[in-house]
Amino acid sequence: MHANDLSALRFAAYIETIGSVIGHADRVEPLRAYCTGLLLPGDRKSVEPMAALIDPARVRSRHQSMHHFVANAGWSDRRVLAAIRQYALPMLEVLDPIEAWIVDDTGFPKKGTHSVGVARQYCGQLGKQDNCQVAVSVSVANAHASLPVAYRLYVPNEWANDAARRSTAGIPDDVTFETKPRIALDQIQRLLAEDVPRGIVLADAAYGNDTKFREGLTALKMIYAVGVQSTTTVWPHGNGPIEPPPKSAVKPAGGRPRTLLRRDAGHQPVPVEQLARDVGRDGFKRVRWREGSDKTLESRFFATRIRVAHRDHWRSKPHAEEWLLIEWPVKAEQATKYWLSTLPEDTSLRRLVHVAKMRWRIERDYEELKSEIGLGHYEGRGWRGFHHHATLCIAAYAFLVAERGLSPPEAEPRRSTLGKSELPKDYRPRGSPVPG
């Protein structure tokens, strides 16, 4: 049997698996049509052009069916994402165990003000503040592949506290304002409860700079390697705040015994950028972390054990020791990136770098989800449609990730082949007319 025929059979079985959790048998057909439309080549993956591509003889009825399925039907995104994981993760793990959980957010520029969650905020796609929607996600990854497994819209304060806008957009009552790190922690906690294979949590400084986020990960027994800003203050190895005297010590005259850490002129933390300057460029070592598309990726790194200093003068014990990893590129005048990590104390520099740099995979996920699958092409304004479209995009992407997992690593293409070989060119959903 031709490889494309086998792929089509696997796709049909995959749709049946997802269809088993969407509530009604009559939803399976629009599910199949929608996922097919996302996978086939096309400049725009909104409902109408997909309907025209899939069923040119019945565009109107096909459009109505697909639109109702994504915008109005009451199936559970959470249950569908669980079914997607059940299908795709075993194929990822054939090549390698899950190594990382990658936290990130992505923005979708919007011109109007009525789409759910749209506000003037930082949009990574544009690289600046602008009108956009932002969604927070968690992806699982190994050395060969990655896949989003949790996805939720960030609801800014001006939406969360506006009853009229909430009602119009259909935002559920239990969705309140939460920061992006808090949303990510909620997602991680839920994934743990659903027994998703654990990995080291990776995130950029927008999340890593949040002390509560890092502490939340530690409370969940999750190891992390997260970016922080250059101004983050730490205690270099061997240094720390002044600890309170033991309980047996004499009480200070006229007061209670000291119970909190304190600092003085001789005990002050330093910004991580200052620590990098103190080490100097010659203290950094060259490390290669992976083969790029046209060259080996390498830079200079330094790692040391530190304690973070955030609000430790309100604590009775210092923060636990962890790793500080710093990157100082060969041609740069100063260090450029900083990470905190709770990897074990005996972790090598090469391993620290490998783990921290795995976060690049999320960029590949979003590049393909947006440019090939149409993640940002949904034109509706409501909460349900926004999340349903994203879930179906993840479903389509997961099928491709799983298909790649069936091939040996050396056979994997360096560039995306989405829409070219994974489905037969003449494939149509069951019940659709075959052209000509």
- The β-bridge relationship of strands 100-109 and 200-203 is parallel
The reported pLDDT for the residue numbered 124 is 81
Q: Is the pLDDT of residue 27 over 70?
A: yes
pLDDT digits (tens, 9 = 90+) for 205-226: 999 999 999 999 999 999 999 9
Residue 352's Cβ-count burial label (10 Å; 0-12, 13-18, 19+) is buried
The reported pLDDT for the residue numbered 139 is 97
Q: What is the mean pLDDT of residues 48-56?
A: 93
The reported pLDDT for the residue numbered 372 is 93
The C-alpha atoms of residue 301 and residue 278 are separated, in whole angstroms, by 14
The reported pLDDT for the residue numbered 435 is 31
Contact 45, 377 (CB under 8 A): yes
For residues 176, 158, 370, 138, the Cα torsion angle rounded to the nearest 10 degrees is -30
Q: What is the mean pLDDT of residues 343-349?
A: 96
The C-alpha atoms of residue 30 and residue 303 are separated, in whole angstroms, by 52
Q: Which residues pair with 133 in a beta bridge?
A: 108
Q: What is the mean pLDDT of residues 389-400?
A: 96
The reported pLDDT for the residue numbered 1 is 53
Cα distances (Å, whole numbers) of residue 52 to 42, 138, 356, 422, 423:
11, 33, 44, 20, 18
The C-alpha atoms of residue 371 and residue 25 are separated, in whole angstroms, by 31
Helix (H, G, I), strand (E, B) or coil at 419: coil
pLDDT category at 426 given cuts 50, 70, 90 is very low
Which parts of 64-192 are beta strand (E)?
100-109, 119-123, 128-141, 146-153
Give the pTM. Answer: 0.87
For residue 186, which of 160, 157, 153 has the smallest C-alpha distance?
153
The C-alpha atoms of residue 104 and residue 137 are separated, in whole angstroms, by 6
The reported pLDDT for the residue numbered 257 is 60
Q: Is the pLDDT of residue 105 over 50?
A: yes
Q: Print burial letters for 74-112: b (CB count within 10 Å at least 16), e (below 16).
A: ebebeebbbbbbebbbebbeebeebbbbbbbbbbbebee
Under DSSP, the state recorded for 242 is B
Contact 139, 101 (CB under 8 A): yes
The reported pLDDT for the residue numbered 322 is 96
Q: Is the pLDDT of residue 430 over 80?
A: no
The C-alpha atoms of residue 426 and residue 436 are separated, in whole angstroms, by 11
Residue 428 vs residue 351, higher pLDDT: 351
- The β-bridge relationship of strands 233-236 and 224-228 is unpaired
Q: What is the mean pLDDT of residues 235-250?
A: 68
Least confident segment among 197-201, 300-304, 360-364, 426-430 = 426-430
Q: Is the pLDDT of residue 292 over 80?
A: no
pLDDT digits (tens, 9 = 90+) for 125-136: 888 889 999 999
The reported pLDDT for the residue numbered 365 is 87
Instruction: Fill in the amino acid letter for 270.
Output: V
Q: What is the mean pLDDT of residues 172-193?
A: 97
Least confident segment among 14-23, 332-341, 361-370 = 361-370
Helix (H, G, I), strand (E, B) or coil at 219: helix
- pLDDT, mean over the chain: 87
- The β-bridge relationship of strands 200-203 and 224-228 is parallel
187 — phi, psi (to 5°)? -65, -45
The C-alpha atoms of residue 80 and residue 236 are separated, in whole angstroms, by 47
The reported pLDDT for the residue numbered 43 is 87
pLDDT digits (tens, 9 = 90+) for 351-394: 999 999 999 888 888 999 999 999 999 999 999 999 999 999 99
The reported pLDDT for the residue numbered 235 is 87
State the first-to-last Cα distance of the chain, in angstroms, to the nearest integer: 25
Q: Is the pLDDT of residue 421 over 50?
A: no
Per-residue tokens: 79: 């249950």
Q: Is the pLDDT of residue 281 over 50?
A: yes
pLDDT digits (tens, 9 = 90+) for 60-78: 999 999 999 999 999 999 9
Q: What is the mean pLDDT of residues 127-155?
A: 94
Q: What is the mean pLDDT of residues 105-120?
A: 92
Q: What is the mean pLDDT of residues 279-306?
A: 90
Cα distances (Å, whole numbers) of residue 196 to 76, 150, 176, 265, 277:
18, 11, 26, 48, 41
The C-alpha atoms of residue 164 and residue 167 are separated, in whole angstroms, by 5
**Which spans in 194-335 are helix H?**
205-208, 211-219, 272-279
pLDDT category at 341 given cuts 50, 70, 90 is very high
Least confident segment among 43-52, 239-248, 372-381 = 239-248
162 — phi, psi (to 5°)? -115, 100
367 — phi, psi (to 5°)? -60, -45
